[in-house]
Structure 1
Amino acid sequence: MPDSAFSAGSAVPGSDAHLPDKRQVAASFSRAAASYDAVAELQREVGESLLARLPTALSPRRWVDLGCGTGYFSRALGQRFGDAEGLGVDIAEGMLRYAGARGGARYFIGGDAERLPLRTQSCDLLFSSLAIQWCADLPAVLGEARRVLREGGVFAFSSLCVGTLGELRASWQAVDGFTHVNRFRAFADYQAHCAASGLELLELASEDRVLHFPDLRSLTHELKALGAHNLNPGRPDGLTGRARVRALIDAYERFRQPQGLPATYRVVQAILRKPLSL
Protein backbone atom coordinates (compact mmCIF):
# COMPACT_ATOMS: atom_id res chain seq x y z
CA MET A 1 0.00 0.00 0.00
CA PRO A 2 1.61 3.32 -0.97
CA ASP A 3 2.27 5.80 1.83
CA SER A 4 1.38 3.12 4.35
CA ALA A 5 0.62 4.26 7.88
CA PHE A 6 1.67 0.98 9.45
CA SER A 7 5.04 0.23 10.98
CA ALA A 8 6.50 -3.20 11.52
CA GLY A 9 6.39 -2.88 15.31
CA SER A 10 3.55 -4.22 17.42
CA ALA A 11 1.99 -2.73 20.52
CA VAL A 12 3.09 -4.03 23.90
CA PRO A 13 0.69 -3.78 26.84
CA GLY A 14 2.09 -2.06 29.92
CA SER A 15 1.11 -1.24 33.49
CA ASP A 16 2.32 0.41 36.66
CA ALA A 17 1.37 0.30 40.34
CA HIS A 18 -1.32 2.95 40.06
CA LEU A 19 -3.27 2.22 36.88
CA PRO A 20 -4.80 -1.04 35.67
CA ASP A 21 -2.85 -3.61 33.71
CA LYS A 22 -3.87 -2.88 30.13
CA ARG A 23 -4.42 -6.58 29.46
CA GLN A 24 -7.24 -6.37 32.01
CA VAL A 25 -8.49 -3.16 30.41
CA ALA A 26 -8.50 -4.80 26.98
CA ALA A 27 -10.33 -7.87 28.27
CA SER A 28 -12.92 -5.80 30.14
CA PHE A 29 -13.72 -3.56 27.18
CA SER A 30 -13.78 -6.54 24.82
CA ARG A 31 -16.49 -8.11 26.97
CA ALA A 32 -18.42 -4.82 26.98
CA ALA A 33 -18.45 -4.31 23.20
CA ALA A 34 -22.05 -5.37 22.68
CA SER A 35 -23.44 -3.43 25.67
CA TYR A 36 -21.30 -0.29 25.44
CA ASP A 37 -23.25 1.90 23.02
CA ALA A 38 -26.55 1.40 24.86
CA VAL A 39 -25.20 3.15 27.98
CA ALA A 40 -22.56 5.48 26.48
CA GLU A 41 -24.51 8.75 26.43
CA LEU A 42 -21.82 10.65 28.36
CA GLN A 43 -19.10 9.18 26.16
CA ARG A 44 -20.91 10.38 23.04
CA GLU A 45 -21.42 13.87 24.50
CA VAL A 46 -17.76 14.18 25.43
CA GLY A 47 -16.57 12.96 22.03
CA GLU A 48 -18.94 15.27 20.18
CA SER A 49 -17.63 18.18 22.24
CA LEU A 50 -14.09 17.20 21.24
CA LEU A 51 -15.09 17.00 17.57
CA ALA A 52 -16.51 20.52 17.80
CA ARG A 53 -13.16 21.78 19.14
CA LEU A 54 -11.14 20.63 16.12
CA PRO A 55 -9.66 23.49 14.10
CA THR A 56 -12.13 24.44 11.38
CA ALA A 57 -9.41 24.55 8.71
CA LEU A 58 -8.24 21.01 9.48
CA SER A 59 -8.35 18.80 6.37
CA PRO A 60 -6.43 15.58 7.07
CA ARG A 61 -5.28 13.11 4.45
CA ARG A 62 -5.20 10.42 7.13
CA TRP A 63 -6.84 10.42 10.56
CA VAL A 64 -6.64 7.99 13.46
CA ASP A 65 -9.38 7.26 15.98
CA LEU A 66 -7.18 6.23 18.90
CA GLY A 67 -9.04 4.05 21.39
CA CYS A 68 -11.82 3.72 18.84
CA GLY A 69 -13.96 1.35 20.91
CA THR A 70 -17.16 0.48 19.04
CA GLY A 71 -16.20 2.85 16.22
CA TYR A 72 -18.85 5.47 16.95
CA PHE A 73 -16.41 8.33 16.34
CA SER A 74 -14.65 6.50 13.53
CA ARG A 75 -17.95 6.77 11.68
CA ALA A 76 -18.31 10.43 12.69
CA LEU A 77 -14.76 11.23 11.51
CA GLY A 78 -15.37 9.35 8.27
CA GLN A 79 -18.44 11.46 7.57
CA ARG A 80 -16.69 14.69 8.47
CA PHE A 81 -13.51 14.14 6.46
CA GLY A 82 -14.91 12.39 3.41
CA ASP A 83 -12.20 10.83 1.25
CA ALA A 84 -9.47 10.94 3.90
CA GLU A 85 -8.12 7.55 4.95
CA GLY A 86 -9.25 6.58 8.43
CA LEU A 87 -7.68 4.18 10.93
CA GLY A 88 -9.32 2.86 14.08
CA VAL A 89 -6.87 1.74 16.78
CA ASP A 90 -7.72 -0.04 20.04
CA ILE A 91 -6.17 -2.54 22.44
CA ALA A 92 -9.45 -4.44 22.87
CA GLU A 93 -9.93 -7.10 20.19
CA GLY A 94 -13.64 -7.40 20.96
CA MET A 95 -14.12 -3.68 20.31
CA LEU A 96 -12.16 -3.90 17.06
CA ARG A 97 -14.32 -6.75 15.79
CA TYR A 98 -17.47 -4.83 16.71
CA ALA A 99 -16.24 -1.61 15.08
CA GLY A 100 -14.94 -3.36 11.99
CA ALA A 101 -18.36 -4.84 11.28
CA ARG A 102 -19.85 -1.34 11.23
CA GLY A 103 -17.24 0.52 9.21
CA GLY A 104 -16.26 4.17 9.31
CA ALA A 105 -12.50 3.65 9.04
CA ARG A 106 -10.61 1.91 6.26
CA TYR A 107 -8.67 -0.22 8.74
CA PHE A 108 -9.20 -1.27 12.35
CA ILE A 109 -5.99 -2.42 14.00
CA GLY A 110 -4.79 -3.49 17.42
CA GLY A 111 -2.43 -1.05 19.06
CA ASP A 112 -1.37 0.68 22.26
CA ALA A 113 -1.32 4.49 22.48
CA GLU A 114 2.05 4.28 24.27
CA ARG A 115 3.63 2.42 21.33
CA LEU A 116 1.64 3.01 18.20
CA PRO A 117 2.07 0.57 15.28
CA LEU A 118 2.13 3.56 12.90
CA ARG A 119 4.90 5.02 10.81
CA THR A 120 6.61 8.28 11.72
CA GLN A 121 4.94 11.36 10.19
CA SER A 122 2.16 9.31 8.63
CA CYS A 123 -0.98 11.01 10.01
CA ASP A 124 -2.57 14.44 10.16
CA LEU A 125 -5.06 13.93 12.99
CA LEU A 126 -5.04 11.78 16.11
CA PHE A 127 -8.46 11.84 17.74
CA SER A 128 -8.85 10.09 21.08
CA SER A 129 -11.93 10.42 23.27
CA LEU A 130 -11.98 8.92 26.77
CA ALA A 131 -9.22 6.37 26.19
CA ILE A 132 -5.86 7.63 27.40
CA GLN A 133 -6.91 7.75 31.05
CA TRP A 134 -6.10 4.02 30.91
CA CYS A 135 -2.49 4.75 29.85
CA ALA A 136 0.05 4.80 32.66
CA ASP A 137 2.69 6.73 30.67
CA LEU A 138 1.18 9.97 29.39
CA PRO A 139 4.56 11.35 28.19
CA ALA A 140 4.89 8.23 26.01
CA VAL A 141 1.42 8.86 24.53
CA LEU A 142 2.32 12.46 23.76
CA GLY A 143 5.69 11.40 22.37
CA GLU A 144 4.01 8.92 20.05
CA ALA A 145 1.58 11.60 18.92
CA ARG A 146 4.47 13.90 18.07
CA ARG A 147 6.22 11.08 16.21
CA VAL A 148 3.34 9.89 14.02
CA LEU A 149 1.89 13.33 13.20
CA ARG A 150 2.99 15.26 10.18
CA GLU A 151 3.99 18.89 10.68
CA GLY A 152 0.89 20.93 11.44
CA GLY A 153 -0.99 17.78 12.45
CA VAL A 154 -3.35 17.81 15.42
CA PHE A 155 -3.66 15.59 18.49
CA ALA A 156 -7.12 16.05 20.02
CA PHE A 157 -7.96 14.09 23.14
CA SER A 158 -10.43 13.93 25.97
CA SER A 159 -9.68 12.07 29.17
CA LEU A 160 -10.60 11.88 32.85
CA CYS A 161 -8.78 13.29 35.85
CA VAL A 162 -8.91 13.26 39.65
CA GLY A 163 -12.41 14.12 40.82
CA THR A 164 -14.09 11.57 38.58
CA LEU A 165 -16.56 9.37 40.47
CA GLY A 166 -15.65 11.25 43.63
CA GLU A 167 -19.00 10.47 45.23
CA LEU A 168 -18.52 6.73 44.77
CA ARG A 169 -14.94 6.91 46.01
CA ALA A 170 -15.93 8.85 49.15
CA SER A 171 -18.78 6.43 49.84
CA TRP A 172 -16.46 3.43 49.66
CA GLN A 173 -13.96 5.20 51.92
CA ALA A 174 -16.70 5.36 54.53
CA VAL A 175 -17.07 1.56 54.29
CA ASP A 176 -13.53 0.15 54.04
CA GLY A 177 -10.00 1.00 52.96
CA PHE A 178 -9.87 -0.96 49.70
CA THR A 179 -9.52 0.51 46.19
CA HIS A 180 -12.98 0.19 44.66
CA VAL A 181 -12.93 3.07 42.14
CA ASN A 182 -10.61 3.55 39.17
CA ARG A 183 -7.79 6.00 39.78
CA PHE A 184 -7.09 8.90 37.43
CA ARG A 185 -4.17 11.32 37.15
CA ALA A 186 -4.41 14.92 38.34
CA PHE A 187 -5.25 17.73 35.95
CA ALA A 188 -1.91 19.33 36.90
CA ASP A 189 -0.19 16.27 35.41
CA TYR A 190 -1.97 16.84 32.10
CA GLN A 191 -0.85 20.47 32.19
CA ALA A 192 2.77 19.61 32.94
CA HIS A 193 3.10 16.77 30.42
CA CYS A 194 1.38 18.66 27.61
CA ALA A 195 3.64 21.66 28.23
CA ALA A 196 6.73 19.42 28.03
CA SER A 197 5.56 17.41 25.01
CA GLY A 198 7.09 19.50 22.24
CA LEU A 199 3.61 19.96 20.80
CA GLU A 200 1.96 23.36 20.57
CA LEU A 201 -0.85 23.54 23.13
CA LEU A 202 -3.92 25.15 21.56
CA GLU A 203 -6.42 24.27 24.28
CA LEU A 204 -6.45 22.43 27.62
CA ALA A 205 -9.37 22.60 30.02
CA SER A 206 -11.33 20.51 32.48
CA GLU A 207 -15.03 20.49 33.21
CA ASP A 208 -17.41 18.52 35.39
CA ARG A 209 -20.20 16.54 33.81
CA VAL A 210 -22.68 15.08 36.28
CA LEU A 211 -24.95 12.13 35.62
CA HIS A 212 -27.83 11.20 37.94
CA PHE A 213 -29.07 7.73 38.77
CA PRO A 214 -32.18 6.57 40.65
CA ASP A 215 -30.11 4.20 42.78
CA LEU A 216 -26.64 2.78 43.25
CA ARG A 217 -27.41 -0.40 41.33
CA SER A 218 -28.15 1.66 38.20
CA LEU A 219 -24.73 3.35 38.43
CA THR A 220 -22.78 0.14 38.98
CA HIS A 221 -24.71 -1.59 36.18
CA GLU A 222 -23.75 1.21 33.78
CA LEU A 223 -20.07 1.06 34.77
CA LYS A 224 -20.05 -2.69 34.14
CA ALA A 225 -21.85 -2.32 30.80
CA LEU A 226 -19.22 0.24 29.76
CA GLY A 227 -16.38 -2.07 30.80
CA ALA A 228 -15.25 0.71 33.18
CA HIS A 229 -15.92 -0.90 36.55
CA ASN A 230 -13.07 -1.25 39.05
CA LEU A 231 -9.93 -2.43 37.24
CA ASN A 232 -7.30 -1.12 39.66
CA PRO A 233 -4.60 -3.18 41.33
CA GLY A 234 -5.39 -3.46 45.02
CA ARG A 235 -9.09 -4.01 44.45
CA PRO A 236 -10.67 -6.53 46.84
CA ASP A 237 -11.08 -10.09 45.61
CA GLY A 238 -14.32 -12.01 45.77
CA LEU A 239 -17.90 -10.93 46.22
CA THR A 240 -18.91 -7.89 48.25
CA GLY A 241 -20.93 -8.91 51.31
CA ARG A 242 -24.46 -7.73 51.91
CA ALA A 243 -23.47 -5.68 54.96
CA ARG A 244 -20.86 -3.74 53.00
CA VAL A 245 -23.26 -3.16 50.12
CA ARG A 246 -25.85 -1.85 52.55
CA ALA A 247 -23.25 0.42 54.14
CA LEU A 248 -22.20 1.67 50.70
CA ILE A 249 -25.80 2.45 49.74
CA ASP A 250 -26.30 4.34 53.00
CA ALA A 251 -23.09 6.33 52.48
CA TYR A 252 -23.94 7.23 48.87
CA GLU A 253 -27.43 8.36 49.85
CA ARG A 254 -25.83 11.35 51.59
CA PHE A 255 -25.04 12.74 48.13
CA ARG A 256 -28.60 12.40 46.80
CA GLN A 257 -29.96 15.41 44.92
CA PRO A 258 -33.47 16.09 43.65
CA GLN A 259 -32.43 14.62 40.26
CA GLY A 260 -31.06 11.43 41.87
CA LEU A 261 -27.68 10.09 42.97
CA PRO A 262 -24.93 12.16 41.28
CA ALA A 263 -21.90 10.67 39.55
CA THR A 264 -19.37 13.33 38.59
CA TYR A 265 -17.00 12.89 35.65
CA ARG A 266 -14.16 15.44 35.55
CA VAL A 267 -13.37 15.62 31.85
CA VAL A 268 -10.14 16.90 30.30
CA GLN A 269 -10.26 18.30 26.76
CA ALA A 270 -7.04 19.06 24.88
CA ILE A 271 -6.03 20.20 21.41
CA LEU A 272 -2.33 20.09 20.50
CA ARG A 273 -0.55 20.69 17.21
CA LYS A 274 2.81 19.55 15.89
CA PRO A 275 4.85 22.64 15.06
CA LEU A 276 6.14 23.39 11.60
CA SER A 277 9.89 23.13 11.11
CA LEU A 278 11.77 26.40 11.11
Structure 2
Amino acid sequence: MQDAMADVLPDKRQVALSFSRAAAQYDGAALLQRQVADRLLGRLPLQDPQRWLDLGSGTGYCSRALARRHPQAEGLALDLAPGMLRHARTQGAGARHYLTADAERLPLRDACCDLVLSSLALQWCPDLHAVLAEARRILRPGGVLAFSSLVEGTLAELRQSWAQVDDQVHVNRFRRQAAYADAAAATGLQVLALDVEPERLHFPDLRALTQHLKAIGAHNLNQGRPQGLTGRQRLAAFTRAYESLRQPAGLPATYQVIHVLLRKSLFKGCCASAKRR
Protein backbone atom coordinates (compact mmCIF):
# COMPACT_ATOMS: atom_id res chain seq x y z
CA MET A 1 0.00 0.00 0.00
CA GLN A 2 1.46 3.36 -1.04
CA ASP A 3 2.03 5.79 1.82
CA ALA A 4 0.53 9.20 1.00
CA MET A 5 3.47 10.93 2.72
CA ALA A 6 6.16 9.11 0.76
CA ASP A 7 6.51 11.94 -1.77
CA VAL A 8 6.74 14.79 0.76
CA LEU A 9 8.84 13.41 3.61
CA PRO A 10 12.59 14.09 3.50
CA ASP A 11 14.98 11.76 1.75
CA LYS A 12 16.21 9.04 4.13
CA ARG A 13 19.83 9.86 3.36
CA GLN A 14 19.29 13.45 4.52
CA VAL A 15 17.61 12.19 7.69
CA ALA A 16 20.50 9.82 8.45
CA LEU A 17 23.09 12.54 7.83
CA SER A 18 21.24 15.12 9.91
CA PHE A 19 20.87 12.84 12.92
CA SER A 20 24.43 11.56 12.65
CA ARG A 21 25.66 15.16 12.79
CA ALA A 22 23.45 15.84 15.82
CA ALA A 23 24.53 12.76 17.80
CA ALA A 24 27.08 14.42 20.08
CA GLN A 25 24.75 17.17 21.31
CA TYR A 26 21.48 15.24 20.98
CA ASP A 27 21.10 14.00 24.56
CA GLY A 28 21.64 17.46 26.00
CA ALA A 29 18.69 18.83 24.02
CA ALA A 30 16.37 15.82 23.95
CA LEU A 31 14.09 16.63 26.89
CA LEU A 32 10.92 15.97 24.91
CA GLN A 33 12.35 12.75 23.48
CA ARG A 34 13.10 11.43 26.96
CA GLN A 35 9.65 12.37 28.22
CA VAL A 36 7.95 10.61 25.32
CA ALA A 37 10.20 7.56 25.66
CA ASP A 38 9.42 7.29 29.36
CA ARG A 39 5.68 7.42 28.65
CA LEU A 40 6.01 4.71 26.02
CA LEU A 41 8.13 2.49 28.26
CA GLY A 42 5.57 2.94 31.03
CA ARG A 43 2.82 1.63 28.77
CA LEU A 44 4.52 -1.65 27.90
CA PRO A 45 2.64 -4.78 28.96
CA LEU A 46 4.17 -6.82 31.74
CA GLN A 47 6.19 -9.49 29.98
CA ASP A 48 9.77 -10.66 29.93
CA PRO A 49 11.11 -10.74 26.36
CA GLN A 50 13.96 -13.01 25.34
CA ARG A 51 14.95 -10.57 22.61
CA TRP A 52 13.95 -6.96 22.01
CA LEU A 53 14.58 -4.50 19.19
CA ASP A 54 14.93 -0.74 19.69
CA LEU A 55 13.89 0.50 16.26
CA GLY A 56 15.30 3.92 15.41
CA SER A 57 17.33 3.70 18.60
CA GLY A 58 19.18 7.01 18.29
CA THR A 59 21.66 7.51 21.12
CA GLY A 60 20.26 4.51 23.00
CA TYR A 61 18.03 6.01 25.70
CA CYS A 62 15.35 3.34 25.25
CA SER A 63 17.95 0.60 24.76
CA ARG A 64 19.50 1.37 28.13
CA ALA A 65 16.09 1.45 29.79
CA LEU A 66 15.15 -1.91 28.28
CA ALA A 67 18.50 -3.40 29.28
CA ARG A 68 17.90 -2.35 32.89
CA ARG A 69 14.37 -3.70 32.83
CA HIS A 70 15.25 -7.00 31.14
CA PRO A 71 18.89 -7.76 32.04
CA GLN A 72 18.69 -11.36 30.77
CA ALA A 73 17.27 -10.45 27.37
CA GLU A 74 19.26 -9.99 24.17
CA GLY A 75 18.91 -6.41 22.97
CA LEU A 76 19.23 -5.12 19.41
CA ALA A 77 19.56 -1.42 18.57
CA LEU A 78 18.88 -0.42 14.97
CA ASP A 79 19.14 3.02 13.40
CA LEU A 80 19.57 4.51 9.95
CA ALA A 81 22.12 7.04 11.26
CA PRO A 82 25.53 5.45 11.93
CA GLY A 83 26.60 8.47 13.95
CA MET A 84 23.81 7.84 16.43
CA LEU A 85 24.84 4.21 16.87
CA ARG A 86 28.49 5.13 17.35
CA HIS A 87 27.49 7.55 20.09
CA ALA A 88 25.14 5.00 21.68
CA ARG A 89 27.98 2.51 22.05
CA THR A 90 29.85 5.01 24.23
CA GLN A 91 26.98 5.56 26.65
CA GLY A 92 27.23 2.40 28.72
CA ALA A 93 25.18 -0.77 28.99
CA GLY A 94 22.40 -0.95 26.44
CA ALA A 95 21.88 -3.18 23.44
CA ARG A 96 24.08 -6.21 22.82
CA HIS A 97 24.11 -5.63 19.05
CA TYR A 98 24.03 -2.41 16.99
CA LEU A 99 22.73 -2.46 13.42
CA THR A 100 22.84 0.31 10.83
CA ALA A 101 19.80 -0.48 8.70
CA ASP A 102 16.52 0.74 7.24
CA ALA A 103 13.34 0.14 9.25
CA GLU A 104 11.52 -0.59 6.00
CA ARG A 105 13.84 -3.55 5.28
CA LEU A 106 14.95 -5.12 8.53
CA PRO A 107 17.99 -7.42 8.29
CA LEU A 108 16.39 -9.88 10.72
CA ARG A 109 14.73 -13.23 10.21
CA ASP A 110 11.05 -13.96 10.78
CA ALA A 111 9.71 -14.35 14.32
CA CYS A 112 12.94 -13.49 16.13
CA CYS A 113 11.83 -10.79 18.61
CA ASP A 114 9.35 -10.63 21.47
CA LEU A 115 9.28 -6.83 21.64
CA VAL A 116 9.80 -4.13 19.03
CA LEU A 117 9.90 -0.63 20.50
CA SER A 118 10.30 2.63 18.59
CA SER A 119 10.14 6.10 20.12
CA LEU A 120 9.88 9.18 17.88
CA ALA A 121 11.46 7.61 14.82
CA LEU A 122 8.69 6.42 12.50
CA GLN A 123 7.68 9.96 11.50
CA TRP A 124 10.84 9.99 9.36
CA CYS A 125 9.98 6.76 7.50
CA PRO A 126 8.42 7.37 4.05
CA ASP A 127 6.66 3.98 3.93
CA LEU A 128 4.91 3.45 7.26
CA HIS A 129 3.07 0.36 6.02
CA ALA A 130 6.38 -1.29 5.12
CA VAL A 131 7.83 -0.50 8.56
CA LEU A 132 4.87 -1.98 10.41
CA ALA A 133 4.76 -5.02 8.12
CA GLU A 134 8.45 -5.65 8.84
CA ALA A 135 7.88 -5.30 12.57
CA ARG A 136 5.02 -7.78 12.37
CA ARG A 137 7.18 -10.19 10.40
CA ILE A 138 9.95 -10.31 13.00
CA LEU A 139 7.62 -10.55 16.01
CA ARG A 140 7.06 -13.90 17.63
CA PRO A 141 3.48 -14.97 18.45
CA GLY A 142 2.34 -12.91 21.42
CA GLY A 143 5.02 -10.31 20.76
CA VAL A 144 4.36 -6.59 21.11
CA LEU A 145 5.07 -3.64 18.83
CA ALA A 146 5.06 -0.38 20.77
CA PHE A 147 5.81 2.95 19.16
CA SER A 148 5.39 6.67 19.54
CA SER A 149 5.51 9.14 16.67
CA LEU A 150 4.51 12.67 15.71
CA VAL A 151 1.29 13.53 13.94
CA GLU A 152 -0.19 16.46 12.08
CA GLY A 153 -0.43 19.55 14.29
CA THR A 154 3.11 19.18 15.63
CA LEU A 155 4.90 22.55 15.83
CA ALA A 156 1.65 24.28 14.88
CA GLU A 157 2.92 27.55 16.36
CA LEU A 158 5.94 27.49 14.08
CA ARG A 159 3.85 26.66 11.04
CA GLN A 160 1.23 29.30 11.88
CA SER A 161 3.84 32.01 12.29
CA TRP A 162 5.58 31.24 8.99
CA ALA A 163 2.20 31.12 7.22
CA GLN A 164 1.86 34.84 7.94
CA VAL A 165 5.09 35.46 6.01
CA ASP A 166 4.98 33.19 2.93
CA ASP A 167 3.63 29.89 1.66
CA GLN A 168 6.90 27.95 1.56
CA VAL A 169 7.60 24.76 3.54
CA HIS A 170 9.39 25.88 6.70
CA VAL A 171 8.22 23.14 9.08
CA ASN A 172 8.50 19.37 8.87
CA ARG A 173 5.28 17.70 7.79
CA PHE A 174 3.73 14.81 9.67
CA ARG A 175 1.05 12.21 9.02
CA ARG A 176 -2.50 12.47 10.27
CA GLN A 177 -3.57 10.31 13.20
CA ALA A 178 -5.88 8.43 10.83
CA ALA A 179 -2.89 7.34 8.73
CA TYR A 180 -1.37 5.61 11.75
CA ALA A 181 -4.71 4.02 12.63
CA ASP A 182 -5.11 2.71 9.08
CA ALA A 183 -1.55 1.37 8.98
CA ALA A 184 -1.97 -0.31 12.36
CA ALA A 185 -5.22 -1.95 11.25
CA ALA A 186 -3.57 -3.18 8.05
CA THR A 187 -1.03 -5.20 10.04
CA GLY A 188 -3.71 -7.49 11.41
CA LEU A 189 -2.19 -7.09 14.87
CA GLN A 190 -4.39 -6.59 17.92
CA VAL A 191 -4.60 -2.90 18.83
CA LEU A 192 -3.96 -2.51 22.55
CA ALA A 193 -3.75 1.28 22.51
CA LEU A 194 -3.80 4.13 19.99
CA ASP A 195 -4.11 7.69 21.20
CA VAL A 196 -2.65 11.15 20.78
CA GLU A 197 -1.60 13.56 23.49
CA PRO A 198 0.13 16.95 23.23
CA GLU A 199 3.54 17.67 24.72
CA ARG A 200 4.55 21.32 25.00
CA LEU A 201 7.96 22.88 25.47
CA HIS A 202 8.67 26.56 26.09
CA PHE A 203 11.67 28.60 24.93
CA PRO A 204 12.90 32.03 26.00
CA ASP A 205 13.24 33.18 22.37
CA LEU A 206 13.23 31.97 18.78
CA ARG A 207 16.97 31.49 18.73
CA ALA A 208 16.68 28.96 21.55
CA LEU A 209 13.92 27.11 19.66
CA THR A 210 15.84 26.91 16.39
CA GLN A 211 19.00 25.81 18.21
CA HIS A 212 16.98 23.10 19.94
CA LEU A 213 15.60 21.78 16.64
CA LYS A 214 19.08 21.77 15.12
CA ALA A 215 20.60 20.03 18.15
CA ILE A 216 18.19 17.11 17.88
CA GLY A 217 18.55 16.88 14.10
CA ALA A 218 14.91 17.81 13.53
CA HIS A 219 15.25 21.14 11.74
CA ASN A 220 13.40 21.53 8.44
CA LEU A 221 14.33 18.59 6.21
CA ASN A 222 11.26 18.40 4.02
CA GLN A 223 11.17 18.62 0.26
CA GLY A 224 10.19 22.10 -0.91
CA ARG A 225 11.92 23.86 1.97
CA PRO A 226 13.39 27.31 1.23
CA GLN A 227 16.95 27.36 -0.05
CA GLY A 228 19.46 30.00 1.00
CA LEU A 229 19.14 32.76 3.55
CA THR A 230 15.86 34.33 4.66
CA GLY A 231 15.60 38.11 4.24
CA ARG A 232 15.59 40.40 7.26
CA GLN A 233 12.08 41.69 6.65
CA ARG A 234 10.63 38.20 6.43
CA LEU A 235 12.49 37.10 9.56
CA ALA A 236 11.23 40.16 11.40
CA ALA A 237 7.64 39.42 10.33
CA PHE A 238 8.04 35.80 11.40
CA THR A 239 9.44 36.85 14.77
CA ARG A 240 6.55 39.25 15.38
CA ALA A 241 4.04 36.54 14.51
CA TYR A 242 5.62 34.00 16.86
CA GLU A 243 6.05 36.56 19.65
CA SER A 244 2.30 37.17 19.55
CA LEU A 245 1.92 33.57 20.80
CA ARG A 246 4.20 34.06 23.82
CA GLN A 247 2.95 32.59 27.09
CA PRO A 248 4.13 33.30 30.64
CA ALA A 249 6.49 30.29 30.41
CA GLY A 250 7.94 31.46 27.08
CA LEU A 251 7.40 30.77 23.39
CA PRO A 252 5.42 27.53 23.04
CA ALA A 253 6.31 24.62 20.78
CA THR A 254 3.64 21.91 20.83
CA TYR A 255 4.21 18.33 19.71
CA GLN A 256 1.28 16.04 18.97
CA VAL A 257 2.47 12.58 20.04
CA ILE A 258 0.74 9.34 19.06
CA HIS A 259 1.27 6.22 21.15
CA VAL A 260 0.45 2.84 19.60
CA LEU A 261 0.64 -0.64 21.14
CA LEU A 262 0.00 -3.70 18.98
CA ARG A 263 0.19 -7.41 19.82
CA LYS A 264 0.76 -10.35 17.49
CA SER A 265 -1.74 -13.19 17.74
CA LEU A 266 -0.82 -16.38 19.55
CA PHE A 267 -2.87 -18.45 17.10
CA LYS A 268 -0.68 -20.90 15.23
CA GLY A 269 -2.67 -20.39 12.06
CA CYS A 270 -1.39 -16.81 11.85
CA CYS A 271 2.18 -17.61 12.68
CA ALA A 272 2.85 -21.13 11.48
CA SER A 273 6.41 -20.33 10.42
CA ALA A 274 7.42 -18.70 13.69
CA LYS A 275 10.30 -20.53 15.32
CA ARG A 276 12.48 -19.48 18.20
CA ARG A 277 16.11 -18.99 17.49
CA drift at 1:16:
3.1
Match of 1:88 among 77, 85, 88: 77
Aligned residue type for 2:13: R
Paired residue for 2:139? 149
CA RMSD, 1 decimal: 1.0
Query: 1:203 aligns to what?
Result: 193
Letter in 2 for 1:143: A
Please give the alpha-carbon distance, in whole angstroms, between the structure 2 residues aligned to 1:87 and 1:68.
9
1:27-66 superposed matches below 5 A:
27-56=17-46, 58-66=47-55
Residue 186 (structure 1) shift: 0.1
CA shift at 1:243, angstroms? 1.6
TM-score by length of 1: 0.93
Partner of 2:153: 163
- Alignment-mate amino acid for residue 209 of structure 1: E
2:206 corresponds to which letter in structure 1?
Answer: L
Report the AA paired with residue 49 of structure 2. Answer: P
Contiguous gaps of at least 5 residues in structure 2: 269-277
Residue 274 of structure 2 corresponds to which residue in structure 1? none
Residue 259 of structure 1: SS of its match in structure 2?
coil
d(CA) in 2 for partners of 1:80 and 1:129?
Answer: 17
Distance 1:242 1:107 in 2: 48
SS in 2 for 1:262: strand
The residue aligned with 2:257 is 267
The equivalent of 1:7 in structure 2 is none
Aligned length: 263
| Larger CA deviation: 101-110 vs 183-192 | 101-110
1:176 match: secondary structure: coil
- Structure 1 residues 55-94: Cα deviation after superposition (integer angstroms, max 9, x where no partner): 01x1100001111100111111100011100000000010
* Cα separation, 2, equivalents of 1:240 and 1:226: 22
Name which of 169, 177, 184 aligns with 2:167: 177
- Secondary structure at 1:181's aligned position in 2? coil
Alpha-carbon distance in 2 for matches of 1:88, 1:261: 35
**Identity percentage of aligned residues:** 62
CA distance in 2, matches of 1:71, 1:138: 22
The offset of 1:101, in angstroms, is 2.1
CA deviation string 1:38-64 (max 9, x = no partner): 0101100100000000001x1100001
Instruction: State how far apart, in whole Å, the 2-side matches of 1:119 and 1:17 are.
Output: 29
Give matches, 1:1-278, under 5 Å. 16-56=6-46, 58-102=47-91, 103-278=93-268
Residue 195 of structure 1 aligns with an amino acid whose one-letter code is: A
- Unpaired runs of 5+ residues, structure 1, are 1-14
SS at match of 1:98: helix
Distance apart, 1:265 and its partner CA: 0.2
Could you say what secondary structure the match of 2:201 adopts?
A: strand
Other structure's SS at 1:196 match? helix
Deviation at 1:245, TM superposition (A): 1.2
TM-score normalised by length of structure 2: 0.93
CA distance, structure 1, for counterparts of residue 166 and residue 124 of structure 2: 25
